[in-house]
Amino acid sequence: MSNHKWNDPAKRCTKVFIPVSAKLIIVFVSIVIVVFILFNVLSMGMVTGDLAQNAEENNVLFNNRSAVEIENRLNNVRRGIFFLLDIILETENDIPTKEASGVFFDSYSTVAAVIVPGIIELFNERFLQTRGINPNRIVSWVSRETDSIEKAHEGQPVIANISVAFGTSLLAMFYPWQQNGSESAVIILFSPEEINDVFINGSYRSFLVNGAGDVLAHTDPRMIQNNANMSDHPLVLAFEHTGERNLRTIYTFEDKKYFGAGKKLSLGDVIVATSVEYEKSMSRTVTGMDRNKYLIISVVCVAAVLFWFFSKTITRPLKKIMDALSQMENGQLQVEIQKTFPDEIGLLSEKICNLGKSLVKREKFFDNYINFINDLQSEKGKEIKGKIEKPIEKPKETVEKKQPDNSAKSRKKNRKSKKTGSS
């Protein structure tokens, strides 16, 4: 036999270890938490995928726009310079040349100098004065750039970062130019501000590099001033490996994950690349998850309070039922339980009251029956006792006169008795 405490009435618990209300709250809150967690995980999974795709598409779109804008600006400068050179070569007077160059440098204030080796040398004096550059330094530098000039003669444009040579942010573009049917080269010195303004965007990191990996423009101006080289950057290496002119990828650089996109321009194999940090682009997802955490906590708290009040509609009637059963256990069978709601608990209360009334009726019936039996037994006992105590009449003795027995047998018997007496 089991020795469980519930089997022994003396050891039976009279207090509830975990109330029904607490169980209901725990179950309901657990369900709410599980549902919200599943909803959060599933929704964030789908939202994360969509955000990642949108972030990558936006990065590619921004890079393509930047590439088109940079190419348009460089071509605009090139066309303006070619037009200026045509005007200068058509006039032999120095005065129209100075006037034309003055108008040009007023329109293109970021251009420092325009040089056709051995033919034309035009300088933006205002620009050079503000940067502290002597025109003779430019002429001397041009004389040393024979390789780049030779490539331009062969029809291959070259763009280089010459910031270190002049101590200020400055770029040089060597571009093919024909003069009277002969191939020549135009050297254009200009500030990277002309193209660096395209990269002004807080979310994206963009840069412009030439075929050697030298930085021509960057969202960080220090990279231009220091003539940094990014030939080992994952995006630049990806262009070298694939040989494509358009690229999109996801890469890791300096322990951070990035969406990357790049486009190669037609001017000197220049690459425009843009990247955005993965975590920053997905920050809206993280923010959404944080908001969902607070939402879960708020909903759980409100649900727990509401469910606590709701549980009282169950526990209070149950407590009344328990009190009524305790009264019945102590002998008070007829109990009254106030009904609260016409639900199962209310029906149970009514049934318990009816049970008590039925037990009272049965108890009265048994009491009457027992009394009846006792009365019968009492009357029967009295009857028996009366019979016992009544004197018993002795039966009357009948004296019968002995008649003489004249039979031979009796005579013989008498003789024997006489002989016995005489002896």
| pLDDT average per 10 residues of sequence, the chain (423 residues) | 46 57 74 76 68 83 90 89 84 68 88 90 91 92 91 88 91 86 86 82 82 88 88 89 87 87 85 86 63 74 78 76 78 72 72 79 80 77 62 51 51 53 46
Strand partners, 262: 247, 273
- Amino acid found at 323: D
Nearest Cα neighbor of 198 from 101, 93, 274 is: 274
65 bridge partner residues: none
pTM: 0.60
pLDDT of residue 337: 72
Q: How many CA atoms lie within 13 A of 18 on its CB side?
A: 6
| CA–CA separation, 127 and 121 (whole Å) | 15
pLDDT at 360: 79
Residue 296: the pLDDT is 73
The pLDDT value given to residue 227 = 87
